[in-house]
Amino acid sequence: MERPNPLSDQFNAALGWLDTRHQPMLDLTIELAEINSGSFNAAGVNRVGARLAEYAREHFGLSAEVLPVTPYQQVNPDGSISQFELGNAIRLRQRPEAPLQLFFCAHLDTVFAIDSPFQQVLWLDDDTLNGPGVTDLKGGIAVLLNALEALERSPLAERVGWELLFNPDEEIGSIGSAPLISDAATRCDLGMIYEPCFPDGNLAGERKGSGNFSIVVEGRSAHAGREHHLGRNAIRALCDMISAIDDLNGQRDGVTINPGFIEGGGALNVVPDRALGRFNIRIAHPDDEAWFLAELEAIRARISDRDGIAVKLHGGFGRKPKLLNATNLRLLELARHCGAEIGLQLDWLPTGGCCDGNNLAAAGIPNIDTLGVQGGAIHSTDEYLKVNSLVPRAKLSALILLHLAASDPTLWKKEHSC
Ligand SMILES: [Zn+2]
């Protein structure tokens, strides 16, 4: 990546401006973290969205589109389905006619329920801020917006267009916002997503795919004393089913299954006629999906064959495995190069975790999905942000954007992927 002097002047101007942005990024992170915004708190998620729409008007002169997403569905123990309204997604678009189109994604929601006592930030030391979503990923939003502003201040900005999606449901699998991500994939060449980097600063490379399933077993109730023989125990059938599914662990490289929830029965003198189980599965390769679905159906058919027992399955694979194609590797190399320019030694590592980077990769868009802040203990009340990572991470993103803007856009087009 040789670059002549005028370019390096532009890069330095952007880096210099970001040096002045520590406090505004920190203030925005704290403001957003202290908005109660668990995924199922639609009003709270919308408050975060409204604040960001206002920010977009002030800092970019853009008016945000407010886009509703499909409600979240959950299977109940009685087999019925509950719907939960979610907050809206927020979308911004800038220069859709530019030769290179970038897609940015960051989520508005956190894992912390509306009644969680964890709703405020707390300083642990000068560099460490504890708070809900400070790292996952309100700090990432501050980094993204400031890196974008650094780009917009540069004449190079004219060479790239971008689309930014704030989605409301990443922490519950982005089922509702998935169509918005695949829609953006039809317009964009590369993706940048602001999930936190690993606690040591490294980026995620390949990611496993993930599926969530619910098993609803229907048996037949009977008096446990007088007519036990007439009952068909749904709990027993569910346990056999879960054991058989759990036994698939270890049968295929990179596939793990975690039965995570069971519920069923009631009074102890009644043979239970209902039981519900839920499990999560992680897969390493796209063809693991068909293998698993065939095994699962065979187990379901076997248990369902029992007299008086019916088994229904719900759910599916919300996240496909993210593999790295040649263009994605080139993008990661660019990130490593940009990191080196500001003294960050970056590598990328495979992970079993999933995020919107999976969806984007499944739609054919190379992406880096851990461009957010450095911190740790995410999804717990110990979540912390290393606040001194805000400026370096914003610089990393800004440099990637400026290098992309200065590069030949055809390098990043789909026909160059393999
Ligand atoms: Zn996240």
Averaged pLDDT for residues 48-67:
98
Domain with CATH 3.30.70.360 in the chain: 209-319
Domain with CATH 3.40.630.10 in the chain: 5-206+322-416
Question: Distance from the CA of 354 to the center of ligand 1, in angstroms?
Answer: 9
Going by C-alpha positions, the residue among 225, 310, 240, 320 that lies closest to residue 271 is 225
Q: What's the CA gap between 207 and 352, in Å, rounded?
A: 6
- Examine the pLDDT at 418 and tell me if it is beyond 50: no
Average model confidence (pLDDT) for the chain?
Answer: 96
Element (H, E) at 52: helix 42-60
Question: Distance from the CA of 56 to the center of ligand 1, in angstroms?
Answer: 21
Residue 85's pLDDT band (cuts 50, 70, 90): very high
Question: Distance from the CA of 11 to the center of ligand 1, in angstroms?
Answer: 29
- Examine the pLDDT at 416 and tell me if it is beyond 60: no
- 327-386 pLDDT, tens digit per residue, is 999 999 999 999 999 999 999 999 999 999 999 999 999 999 999 999 999 999 999 999
- Examine the pLDDT at 3 and tell me if it is beyond 60: no
- Examine the pLDDT at 5 and tell me if it is beyond 70: no
Instruction: Enter the CATH code of domain 209-319.
Output: 3.30.70.360
**pLDDT score recorded for residue 276:** 97
- 158-217 pLDDT, tens digit per residue, is 999 999 999 999 999 999 999 999 999 999 999 999 999 999 999 999 999 999 999 999
- 125-154 pLDDT, tens digit per residue, is 999 999 999 999 999 999 999 999 999 999
Rounded to a whole number, what is the distance in angstroms from the first to the last CA of the chain?
22
- 315-334 pLDDT, tens digit per residue, is 999 999 999 999 999 999 99
pTM (2 decimals)?
0.92
Strand, helix or coil at 154?
coil
- Examine the pLDDT at 4 and tell me if it is beyond 70: no
Question: Distance from the CA of 146 to the center of ligand 1, in angstroms?
Answer: 19
Question: Distance from the CA of 402 to the center of ligand 1, in angstroms?
Answer: 25
Please say whether the beta carbons of 181 and 174 come within 8 A: yes
Entry field: residues in the chain: 418
Averaged pLDDT for residues 74-92:
93
Question: Distance from the CA of 411 to the center of ligand 1, in angstroms?
Answer: 29
Question: Distance from the CA of 217 to the center of ligand 1, in angstroms?
Answer: 33
Question: Distance from the CA of 54 to the center of ligand 1, in angstroms?
Answer: 22
Q: What's the CA gap between 60 and 37, in Å, rounded?
A: 24
The CATH number of 5-206+322-416 is which of 3.40.1500.10, 3.60.21.10, 3.40.630.10, 3.20.20.70? 3.40.630.10
Question: Distance from the CA of 194 to the center of ligand 1, in angstroms?
Answer: 8
Question: Distance from the CA of 98 to the center of ligand 1, in angstroms?
Answer: 29
Question: Distance from the CA of 37 to the center of ligand 1, in angstroms?
Answer: 13
Question: Distance from the CA of 4 to the center of ligand 1, in angstroms?
Answer: 37
Going by C-alpha positions, the residue among 3, 89, 4 that lies closest to residue 49 is 89
Q: Give CA separation, 9 vs 151, 164, 321, 397, 400, in Å.
A: 13, 27, 40, 17, 15
Averaged pLDDT for residues 31-58:
98
